Amino acid sequence: MKLWRLVVLALVLVLGAAVAQSRPRVVIPTGSTGGVFFFYGQAIAKILSEAGVADATAQQTGGSYDNLLLLRDRTDPRSNTYYCALATTDSALVTYTGEEPRFAQRKADMQRIMFYMYPSLIHIVTTEKSGINFVGDLRGKRVSTGQPGSSTENLALLVLRGAGVDVREFAKRERLPAAESAKALAEGTIDAYFWVGGVPTSSVVELAQSLARKGDQIKLVDSPRSGPTAQLLLKEFPGVITTGVLPKSVYGTKKDVFALFTGNVFLCPASMPEELAEAIMKAVFSNLQTLVTATPAARDTTLKNTVDLYNQRMIIPFHPGAVRYLREVGAIR
């Protein structure tokens, strides 16, 4: 091979390596399999990689609190590596303020909101044959309260506290992720479980189908909007927890369900350059159909919902790059 060709080849390899090294790395911690976070985060990583915004990967985790710990502890601007978290708004709030014990000494005040994702239902899942009609009926039952340290577990304990139920009153307490909880209920090794996730959650849909084949029917326990449980959560998380009705058509329940919801937000570290944050926003909002295809809950990932959250003036600030994008597309002034 002629010398000039060797020189050109060497230059191409060097330049290629430099480009690869300069491209930022974005890691998106998601959640447990069977939950919406898992599919949503994978779709975001695919969008960012295919748009050339970053070398993006999704990482399975225990959910919101794990994700926020990774954002806080694993982000490294020196190596151009940024962890962006999918999190419920309640977990984002208490980690930002330091009220969550794991963040008391070192808060997650570096986190910045990028956009609103979708609302999550506080599911209390059981079966029609269980005889469980109210939260108080969980006494003496085998119940999973969610993965240890997860947003599901934290909210489950608040729901139980509002209803005056102690986990020591359970016949058995499990602490299982979404898919494992659904499997255990289908197999009859637990009587009910808590799950905080988008609607519909695939593992809950599959559970409903499995129960129907066995001659049973899925049931979601009501969370009355005027009861002590709702009052406790609304007081604990003002402007974060909302009330609503889940139509019976979603999971095939016998009736509509009075329910409590928390929002979900996509957060990136404050240390992320504005240009990268803006590019992430552009890639995501230019490819919303990819998200909806990955999980129907993403239909609520809209500019309007993000602007509504921005106008609420939450304690957690929006990332300047996200604000710049919202201004450029005329969503805010």
Instruction: Please determine, for residue 262, whether its predicted confidence score (pLDDT) is greater than 80.
Output: yes
For residues 292, 119, 326, 95, the Cα torsion angle rounded to the nearest 10 degrees is: -120
Instruction: Write out pLDDT tens, residues 289-312.
Output: 999 999 999 999 999 999 999 998
pTM assigned to the model: 0.85
Residue with tokens 């992720």: 177
Alpha-carbon distance of 173 to 145, in angstroms, equals: 7
Distance CA 56, CA 83 (A): 10
What are the pLDDT digits (tens) for 102-120?
998 887 678 999 999 999 9
Of 22, 66, 69, 27, nearest to 44 by C-alpha is 27
CA–CA separation, 123 and 106 (whole Å): 31
Could you tell me which of 58, 116, 60 has the C-alpha nearest to residue 87? 116
pLDDT above 90: residue 11: no
Q: Cα 143 to chain center, whole Å?
A: 22
Half-sphere exposure of 320 (CA within 13 A, CB side): 7
The pLDDT of residue 236 is 81
Helix 320-328 × helix 274-285 angle, to 10°: 50
pLDDT band at 5 (very low <50, low <70, confident <90, very high): low
- In this prediction, residues 126-135 reach a mean pLDDT of 95
Strand ranges inside the chain, DSSP E: 25-29, 55-59, 81-83, 85-88, 111-127, 142-144, 172-174, 192-198, 218-220, 241-246, 257-269
Q: Is residue 67 pLDDT above 60, yes or no?
A: yes
Percentage of the chain beyond pLDDT 90 is: 78
Backbone angles phi, psi at 251, to 5 degrees: -115, 0
Higher per-residue pLDDT: 229 or 116: 116
Query: Which stretch of 29-43, 98-112, 129-143 has the lowest confidence by average pLDDT?
Result: 98-112
Spell out where 155-191 has E strands.
172-174
Residue with tokens 């303020």: 97
Peptide bond preceding 200: is omega within 30 degrees of 0, i.e. cis? yes
What six digits make up the tokens of 268? 């990136």
Residues 232-258 have pLDDT tens digits of 888 888 778 888 999 999 999 999 999
Residue 96: partners with Cβ closer than 8 Å, 6 or more residues away: 103, 107, 108, 109, 111, 315, 316
The rounded percent of the chain whose pLDDT value lies above 70 is 92
What is the reported pLDDT for 3?
52
Using the predicted structure, report yes or no on whether residue 319 has a pLDDT greater than 80: yes
